Amino acid sequence: MISSRRNVFQIAGAGLASAVALSTAGSARAQVREEASRPSVTIIRKGIDKDLAVINVDLLEEEAKRKLPEGVHVFIANGNGEQWTLRENRRAFGDYAFAPHRMGGVVRDRIDTAVTLLGESLPFPIFVSPMGSHGLVHPEGEVATARGMGKSGGLVAVSSASTIPMEDIARASDGPKWFQMYLDQDEGRSREILQRARAAGFKAIVLTVDAIGQGSSDQYANMGRPRPWLPYGNYPEGRAPSFKTDLSWRELEMVRSVTGLPVVIKGLTRPEDAAEAVRAGAGAIQVSNHGGRALDGTPASISVLPKIVDAVQGAVPVMLDSGIRRGTDVAKALALGASAVAVGRPVWWALTLGGAGGVSGLMDYFQRELVETMLHLGVDKVASLGREHVLPLHHRIAAQDG
């Protein structure tokens, strides 16, 4: 049954005007707790879709900024509070220098960036971190993102706060997909969303544990938080869920029991928390401070990665997000023990400028730089990257610790 009620949002700015019409649809599912009405995309207006030759993410952002309303750009680009953590995520990559290995006979064309992550064979160790509201920058929203990653063969993690319903995103491409979950205070609603994700074909659940409060930069708050309202595509009538904040390891077991899928715990920065996650049954760890959008003052993800890798002791894959802007950043994270990295804000900029083609072009950029870095480091496959390839600049790290 299709309801006559429609949620329509409009984004307008210099060079960018789009509209997406959503309707609410109800469907009975045998595996869900109750019959529920949920949104379904009935109209997706095509936006820009062109290949991008990405040279530098900062330049990409500058161009996207000219296309977006100021409030939308500030909302995406900024972190929380005074944004110390946002800045630290980038700065801290400078605490590590490369130690190139020469004369190893590595041939550029034979460098292999492929990895296997939770059973998924991926052409490169870079995936799209889960972010909501892609419709802020492109009328196709997460559908365009999924198509772009499908074109590149890469993995996309889809947010439960997506503009578009998960089923429509899942159908957008044959590429690998994970589903990220913000748990609802209503456990029944959480269970229904999780069951839908499994039915739609998502292969893992990313459980975010650090976004338990609304973060906002001082600049964005001073502007009056002007981003347009967007519907939550996975929830009845597009209404925002009521996020659960009193999380415990019980929630991990609930997600596993409902879906039977591996669960990635996203948002850890303490080694002891990572070790506890493994004991509780996590399938993987994602080291993250939410791109500086959660608690300002937390350390950069790259700073805590080595100790978390040591605490996990190879029991599960460890991924990293927050601050990745170049293929050199990817190589440093992999050398310090990450199995893969996730990219956030750069995807927004690429989606703004090129839609699906922009997203695939961004992945080409990261992979191209990663290959060039591996060539100089003297390795021909990702598994060969190790701590011997990075030189900690102890004077910088000691200054930060002190």
Cβ neighbours of residue 293 closer than 8 Å, sequence gap 6 or more: 79, 80, 86, 211, 215
Of residues 36 and 107, more confidence is placed in 107
Residue 19 above 90 pLDDT?
no
Predicted confidence band at 384 (pLDDT cuts at 50, 70, 90)?
A: very high
Residue 309 above 90 pLDDT?
yes
Does 4 reside within a domain? no
Of residues 402 and 89, more confidence is placed in 89
Residue 230 above 80 pLDDT?
yes
Does 25 reside within a domain? no
Residue 107 above 50 pLDDT?
yes
For 381, the token pair is 């496959």
Q: What is the domain count for the chain?
A: 1
> Residue 127 forms beta bridges with which residues?
342
Q: 344: annotated binding-site residue? A: yes
Q: 257: annotated binding-site residue? A: no
For residues 376 and 389, give the distance between their C-alpha atoms in angstroms, rounded to a whole number.
10
Residue 401 above 60 pLDDT?
no
Residue 283: domain span: 46-401
Does 298 reside within a domain? yes
Q: What is the pTM for the complete model shown?
A: 0.86
Distance of alpha carbon 332 from its chain centroid, rounded? 19
Q: 96: annotated binding-site residue? A: no
Q: 182: annotated binding-site residue? A: yes
Does 8 reside within a domain? no
Q: 325: annotated binding-site residue? A: yes
Q: What is the CATH number of the domain that holds 242?
A: 3.20.20.70
> Residue 100 forms beta bridges with which residues?
none
Residue 104: what pLDDT? 85
What amino acid positions are annotated as catalytic residues?
Answer: 290
pLDDT in tens, 48-84: 888 889 999 999 999 999 999 999 999 999 999 999 9
Query: Whole-number mean pLDDT of the chain?
Result: 86
Does 337 reside within a domain? yes
Burial of 58 (0-12, 13-18, 19+ CB in 10 A): exposed
Q: Letter for the amino acid at 93?
A: F
Predicted confidence band at 33 (pLDDT cuts at 50, 70, 90)?
A: very low
Residue 275: what pLDDT? 97
